[in-house]
Amino acid sequence: MKSLLMFLGILLTFLGCEKDLSPFIKCPDTSFPLLVGNRYRYHHVNEFMNNYFIREIVGDTLIKNKRYFIQNNIPFFNYIPFIRLEGEQMYAWLDWDHYEISYLNFKAQVGDESWYIPQEVGIVQNIKEKLVFGEEQKVWTIVPLSYSPRDSIIYSTKFGELAFYKNGKKELELVGAIICNKKYGSIQ
C-alpha cells in the first residue's frame, strides 16, 4: 500500500508539471509565419465600441488536400477562419461560399489588385519599409476599389494586418503579437 501511494504521488507530480517546449518550436521561414499558438492583439475603436480582442491561430485542418490554419472567431468584419501560405501568396478559404481566394501576395507591387476584405477587391496604393515592433518590415497599404479612398487596410510581412482606416480614421490597430513564441508589443 505504501509503495502504491508513493508511485501515485510521483505520477501526480510529473503529470502536474508543465514543460516549456518553446526551444523545440520551429518557426516557418516565410514572410508570414503560420504556427498554431500565434496570437495578435488588436485595439478596435469606432463610434460604437472601444475594446481589445485577440486573433489566434488555434489549429489546422485539411481542406481539399491543402493544409489551412484556423483562426479563432473575432468581433470584426474582416474575419477569415482558414488561411494558408504557399510561397509568398496567402490564400483564404471562404467557408460560407466554399471556395478559396488569393488573399495576400507578399510580392505585390503598387497598382496590383488585392483582396481588401473577403468580399471586396482593392488595389495596392503604396509599399514602404517600416519598423514594426522594432523590426524592419515591408508594409502595404491597400485601398478598396469601390469605397471611399479614405478607407484602407495596412498589412506587413510577419505581422499581417496592422491597421484599418474607415473614412480616414483608424478603427483597428495591432498593439501586440506572439509569433513563434516571441512576444512583440503589448499582449496578454
pLDDT per residue as tens digits for the range 151-177: 888 999 999 889 999 888 898 899 999
Give the dihedral of Cα atoms 163, 166, 169, 172; nearest 10 deg: -30
Residues paired with 140 in a beta bridge: 127, 155
Nearest to 134 by CA among 158, 154, 104: 158
pLDDT tens digit string along 6-62? 444 444 444 444 344 445 567 887 888 999 999 999 998 888 889 898 889 999 999
Residues paired with 83 in a beta bridge: 69, 92
- pTM value is 0.79
C-alpha cell at 81: 477562419
pLDDT tens digit string along 99-141? 888 888 889 999 998 877 666 788 999 999 999 999 999 999 9
